[in-house]
Amino acid sequence: MIRAENVLKELRQLWADLGKSETTGGGVLRACAMTLIVADEYHADETRQNAGEILGELMHEHPSRAIVIRQQPGAELEARVFAQCWMPFGKRQQICCEQIEITVAPERMREVPNSVLALMAPDLPVVLWCRGPQWFDAVGYNELLALADKAIFDSTLLAEPARGLARLRVLRSTGSRVADLAWTRLTIWREMIAQAWSDGLLRDVTSGEYHMRVMHPGSLRTAGACYLTAWLEKSLTSRPVEIAFSDDESIAGICSVRFESAHEHVDIAVNHRTIELWSKGNSVRLPEPPGTEYDLMREELGILDRDQRFEAALSRAADLAAHSH
Amino acid sequence: MSGETTSLPDAFGVTHDEFESNPFQDPNRFERRVPPCQIVIFGANGDLTKRKLLPALYRLAYERRLPAAFSVIGNSRTEMSDDDFRAKMKESVQKFLEDSPFEEALWASFARNIHYVAGDLQDPKMYSALKAKLDEFDGSTHAEGNVLFYLSTQPSYYASTVAQIGAAGLQHGPEAHPKAWRRLVVEKPFGHDLGSAAELNEAIHKVFEEKEVYRIDHYLGKETVQNILAFRFGNGIFEPLWNRRYVNNVQITAAESIGVEGRGAYYQEAGTLRDMIQNHLLQVMATVAMEPAAMFESTAVRDERAKLLRSIKTMKPAEVPLYSVAGQYGKAKVGGEDVPGFREEEGVDPNSPTDTYAAACFYIDNWRWAGVPFYIRSGKRLPKRVTDIAIQFNNAPLSVFGGAQIDGGASEGTVRPNLLILRIQPEEGISLRFLSKHPGSGMRLRSVSMDFSYGSSFGVRSPSAYETLLVDAMSGDATLYTRQDMVEASWRAVQPILDDWAGKKFEFPNYAAGTWGPKASDEMLARQGHVWRNS
């Protein structure tokens, strides 16, 4: 049983205790810029990073009241509160964010959204992070979604990206502000292409007739490949982009992008943990970002307004994914 | 956003220029890219380079904001090898780097691109050597011929250094790079009065075009000063109150608790009015009082700032004693410690007439601000280090709590006006003071403060002013730099005070170290029915 008043009282007590126990003399600063609801999943998978650890890192840049909902078979419906604190480099003042962890058995999920509603930090943006594919079909999921100003998913967690992209498109069409970490992973690719354009490296190849090709690993179109293809089409006034598969399944997401005219071509490809651009015999290389959930969420939480580039690409990407078969 | 272009943002928030030139732009996610370039620092053995410039550049390298083709070339008269200079700079970065760890490996790779050219600023051979160094790096790293010249020398060398740059043809990029840019960053002080500022502008314009000149005022690079614009123009609730109808007076304070700290010789030539008010604080005042620009774009923002500075009412000679106060600190015991007076400081003339404190009341001749006093004060050896802006609103038109006790009021029943405080340092944030009922029976009112602190909403470290400004200059964004007309307008505002003070013999010292300045400053406000707030 969760009584919101009691949980909030515990939070107040937590702050009082933190203040009393503070010994550095610099004080404790409560930091909060949003409510971050984390719809987590119970995982036997030990290799997956714990949500609490990721939140601990995220809090430095995006301080929030985090409400972590963990579905766990047989669990009691209960909440506990604690603080995530850190001391910025060279400062004496501790900065702390509050975290509320709710455990719940899947069959009782329907009771959770109302509790979350009462526990959200007032008047601040609310972000929902669905950290697992089962949430799409979970009881209470729509109610949670209705609480959020922005909902973040990761369509790569689904066995079939087409399903995820289609769901996101539907959500978007109903007015929800959505994000997909599969899109966030493309930033490095998109930035490299934008940079190549600024540097004039694509000038010659795109001056006449040309075409583009996005290669993805395996026979099933990846969400990343669909997004990148859609983005290229939208950016270059609907020029067709070929989407093809590569046999190299050691790479996730995207293998390469090629801009090709009759006389020359520019390639951007993954190469030993770097993204490398080849043009006229010269290459530019950027380290492939680690792409951890922390990195991706850090970027997404920085964008609370509509992400129109993503939204413009989503609909076409969903079509491309649907035609994967 | 490029330096002087004007363009409208499209539905994606990308300006047309960017959009048309690069259809892939995504300003939501992509960091602004610094193009390949070299920075030449004249006066590289000086304090500014050690304390601010190199630590800022190192921090940019730490955050991977610098391009792969990037180098720093230092110049001063002292004979040094590249390695000697690197060792000196390493020591400085380790000492003055704030809020960041120092990483040996990163320094090693950063330092490889630090070079040094010894030589006199008046010697044409030095510029030939500099050109050779620039060409050498350019040839080896594809730096595209872009160069940022940074004048960090004694101000008296600015004009001649620029002339030498011109004589050596360094203001133009190499022929191989027709799109190469050459820019000049000029540190303050920009002249020592209106006439000398105009002369310096003229000398600079013989070599560089105005759009290539970046006059630095590091206050404008501070996150909290930039936030004034976000606060005013990003919110709907304050701007309607931001005018003579609701604002009673504005107080801008920049106080330092320290003395001249070894800069006595420099300081006695400058004084607080020149060192702080003419540049930093008038720029802050312009930021507080300017009209909204049509878009956040270099020319538009600077036009509005310049308009505001030009609207500052010029004091008549007879008004100067009424609306300005000079002060100089005398010795005192502060916190149990003996603190010397300014005239006892090292390098300072024992009869120095320099102002270590200055306060002035400015009026702005426009419809928005007519009749609203803007009080500005700055000084050394004041009780604490604080920079803030207080906007005091008019009292409620009628006090319905006539008989109520108001805690903290000057007397029973005194209404304490609403106060909006924009704190620039050290505790960056914004607070609003208003009255609230004291718990308990009866109607007892008490002032309370609603506080926003940067630290509580943004856990991340803010970039230093020099990091911001260096990236801007390298990227060609002059929004946070001052322009010729702005500099001359701000000199015009303080020139009557300078003229008056130059002909006066003050009874210095007139305030004790550790106090809030001379009594005359309080009297200046009292004549208009105001008091300085306790910052």
Write down the pLDDT at residue A44: 57
The percent of residues in chain A predicted with pLDDT above 70, rounded, is 96
| Burial status of residue A180 (CB atoms within 10 A of its CB: 0-12, 13-18, 19 or more) | buried
pLDDT band at A135 (very low <50, low <70, confident <90, very high): confident
Spatial separation of the C-alpha atoms in residues B431 and B451, rounded to whole Å: 4
Looking at beta carbons, which residues of chain B come within 8 Å of A198?
Answer: 21-22, 33
Spatial separation of the C-alpha atoms in residues B108 and A291, rounded to whole Å: 27
- Closest by Cβ to A197, choosing from B22, B99, B458: B22
- DSSP code string of A234-264: HHTTT--EEEEEES-TTS-S--EEEEEESS-
* Dihedral sign computed on CA atoms, order B131, B134, B140, B143: negative
Q: Which residue has the higher pLDDT, B148 or A240?
A: B148
Write down the pLDDT at residue A297: 96
With CA atoms as reference, report the closest residue to B333 among B509, B515, B508.
B515
Asked if residues B30 and A191 have their Cβ atoms less than 8 Å apart, the reply is: yes
Peptide bond into B426 cis (omega under 30): yes
Write down the pLDDT at residue B404: 57
Residue carrying the six token digits 């602004």: B32
Q: Do B24 and A194 touch (CB under 8 A)?
A: yes
Write down the pLDDT at residue B16: 37
Q: Do A193 and B98 touch (CB under 8 A)?
A: no
Asked if residues B324 and B361 have their Cβ atoms less than 8 Å apart, the reply is: yes
DSSP label at residue B337: E
Looking at beta carbons, which residues of chain A come within 8 Å of B459?
Answer: 31, 59-63, 86, 88, 95
Asked if residues B293 and B301 have their Cβ atoms less than 8 Å apart, the reply is: yes
pLDDT digits (tens, 9 = 90+) for A13-68: 888 888 887 776 777 888 888 999 999 876 655 566 788 889 999 998 898 999 99
Spatial separation of the C-alpha atoms in residues B211 and B476, rounded to whole Å: 9
Average pLDDT value for residue range A226-237? 90
Which chain B residue has the Cα nearest residue A57?
B459
Contacts of B53 (CB under 8 A, 6+ apart): B41, B150, B152, B466, B470
Give Cα separations from A69 to A132, A169, B28 (angstroms). Answer: 12, 25, 29
Most B-contacting residue of A94, A177, A198 (CB-CB within 10 A), to test interface: A198
- Distance (Å) from the alpha carbon of B409 to chain A's nearest alpha carbon: 30
- Tell me the β-bridge partners of B70: B37
Ordered per-residue pLDDT tens for chain B, 535 residues: 333 333 333 333 344 344 447 889 898 888 777 888 999 999 999 889 999 999 999 999 988 888 888 999 999 999 999 999 999 999 999 999 987 889 998 999 899 999 999 999 999 999 999 999 998 887 776 668 999 999 999 889 999 999 999 999 999 988 888 889 999 999 988 999 999 999 999 999 999 999 999 999 998 988 888 889 999 999 999 999 999 999 999 999 999 998 887 777 778 888 999 999 999 999 999 999 999 998 888 899 999 999 999 999 999 999 999 999 999 999 987 777 888 999 998 888 999 999 999 999 999 999 999 999 999 999 999 988 899 999 999 988 877 776 555 655 544 445 678 999 999 988 788 999 888 887 777 787 878 888 887 766 776 777 889 999 999 999 999 999 999 999 999 999 999 999 999 989 999 999 999 899 999 999 999 999 999 987 6
Catalytic residue ranges of B: 280
Spatial separation of the C-alpha atoms in residues B288 and B228, rounded to whole Å: 7
Judged by a CB distance cut-off of 8 A, whether residue A92 touches chain B is no
- Closest by Cβ to B459, choosing from A59, A187, A194: A59
Residues 24-43 on B with a CB inside 8 Å of A are: 24-26, 28-30, 33
Token pair of B265 as six digits: 């010789």
Residue carrying the six token digits 């609801």: A37
Looking at beta carbons, which residues of chain B come within 8 Å of A192?
Answer: none
Spatial separation of the C-alpha atoms in residues A250 and B254, rounded to whole Å: 60
Spatial separation of the C-alpha atoms in residues A79 and B532, rounded to whole Å: 50
User: How many beta-carbon contacts under 8 Å exist across A and B?
Assistant: 76
Looking at beta carbons, which residues of chain A come within 8 Å of B13?
Answer: 308
Q: Do B459 and A235 touch (CB under 8 A)?
A: no
pLDDT score of A2 more than 90: no
Longest dimension (CA), chain B: 83
Judged by a CB distance cut-off of 8 A, whether residue B457 touches chain A is yes
| Burial status of residue A198 (CB atoms within 10 A of its CB: 0-12, 13-18, 19 or more) | middle
Q: Which residue has the higher pLDDT, A244 or B274?
A: B274
Q: Report angle CA A166, A168, A171 to the nearest 5 degrees.
A: 115
pLDDT digits (tens, 9 = 90+) for A174-207: 888 999 999 999 998 999 899 888 877 888 888 8
pLDDT digits (tens, 9 = 90+) for A141-163: 888 999 999 999 999 888 888 88
Judged by a CB distance cut-off of 8 A, whether residue A206 touches chain B is no
Contacts of B11 (CB under 8 A, 6+ apart): A308
Interface confidence, given as ipTM, is 0.85
Q: Do A32 and B12 touch (CB under 8 A)?
A: no
- Convert B175-237 into a string of H (helix), E (strand) and C (coil): CCCCCCCEEEEECCCCCCCHHHHHHHHHHHHCCCCHHHEEECCHHHHCHHHHHHHHHHHHCCC
With CA atoms as reference, report the closest residue to A309 among A142, A156, A193.
A193
Residue carrying the six token digits 């707030």: B533
Write down the pLDDT at residue B10: 37
Write down the pLDDT at residue A325: 57
| 3-class secondary-structure state, position B16 | helix
Q: Which residue has the higher pLDDT, A304 or B33?
A: A304
Asked if residues A161 and A136 have their Cβ atoms less than 8 Å apart, the reply is: no
Secondary structure E strands in chain A: 28-30, 35-41, 65-71, 78-86, 94-104, 126-130, 150-153, 178-180, 210-217, 241-246, 256-261, 265-271, 274-279, 282-287
With CA atoms as reference, report the closest residue to A80 among A138, A27, A3.
A3
Kindly state the helix (H) or strand (E) to which residue B463 belongs, with its residue range.
none
- Tell me the β-bridge partners of B446: B407, B436
Looking at beta carbons, which residues of chain B come within 8 Å of A308?
Answer: 11-13
With CA atoms as reference, report the closest residue to A39 among A74, A63, A72, A67.
A67
- Closest by Cβ to B459, choosing from A31, A191, A195: A31
Write down the pLDDT at residue A3: 86
Q: Do B461 and A61 touch (CB under 8 A)?
A: no
Whether this prediction's pTM lies above 0.90 is answered by: no
pLDDT score of A254 more than 50: yes
Spatial separation of the C-alpha atoms in residues B23 and A98, rounded to whole Å: 41
Judged by a CB distance cut-off of 8 A, whether residue B453 touches chain A is yes
Asked if residues B388 and B422 have their Cβ atoms less than 8 Å apart, the reply is: yes
- Distance (Å) from the alpha carbon of B28 to chain A's nearest alpha carbon: 7
